[in-house]
Structure 1
């Protein structure tokens, strides 16, 4: 299997249409939305695509309280305030209080990554 192509594996049988959709997303470097009932293999598909591309799999599990911006980063103002009250020199560098999200992690990856956003509504 080439590094830019996906087809059925020993652990996942993909239809021709699904393989075509995955390969189009790979070629176009665009996201692919997979819908289906629980237990139909959506997560397994992401695992197999990552394996076939020799790419890291980054998983972002969404909860009802998750906000979209958390995928990029979160700013920890409370920690910065606490550190400023304690006289910690870290407060002068805001990057010490940026918590990188899964989307940031995917974009910053040294290798092209597969980002699985699970349970998005």
Structure 2
């Protein structure tokens, strides 16, 4: 399974090499760069090029790592208990699966995008270390181990707003997408606006 580029995304040779190295060695690819340099679209286009489903987890300042695994909806269970709903006897009815759970248990390989990880708390990356490394986690409410049946291709993006922990960085391949030079910019414009006169780019 190799990424050879796509008609809708201009990938430099070193970026293509980084993507394929991460796929081959089954490690997350951490992509840093300024906003608008194509970090998120890279995961989208790799998924399209490889014919794989894409799961997107967009990170906010309030996002917790646990949400990527699962959440136990105790409030709904309490409400249903008060209403006499028979669903309360099965705790699985109140487990909300996160993006990592969905990726780990997919019947086919998937591309998992963890977008803008630097927006979260500084401890957020460390809280996912074990899960991304071993591709498994334990659900305490149901006493079950969720283990990846097929290892997802993981892309992690960062706008470089804050430094990420060294322990997390050591477990990832890293690539910095620089703002495109004149030649690359012309290729990008040609992909999205094929009829545009070259003179307008000067």
- Give the TM-score of the pair, scaled to structure 1: 0.94
Report what 1:55 is aligned to.
52
1:9 aligns with 2:6: yes
Aligned to 1:69: 66
Residues 5 and 49, structure 2, Cα contact 8 Å, conserved in 1 = no
Shift of 1:63: 1.0
Name segments (4+ residues, structure 1) moved above 2 Å: none
**Deviation (angstroms), 1:16:** 1.2
**Once the two structures are superposed, what CA deviation does each residue of 1:32-89 show, in whole Å capped at 9, x if it has no partner?**
1101111100111101110111110000011111000100000000000001111111
Tell me which residue corresponds to 2:30: 33
**Once superposed, what is the RMSD of the aligned Cα atoms?**
0.8
Aligned length: 118
* Match for residue 42 of structure 2 among 17, 42, 45: 45
Q: Which runs of 5+ in 1 are unaligned?
A: none
- Structure with higher strand content: 2
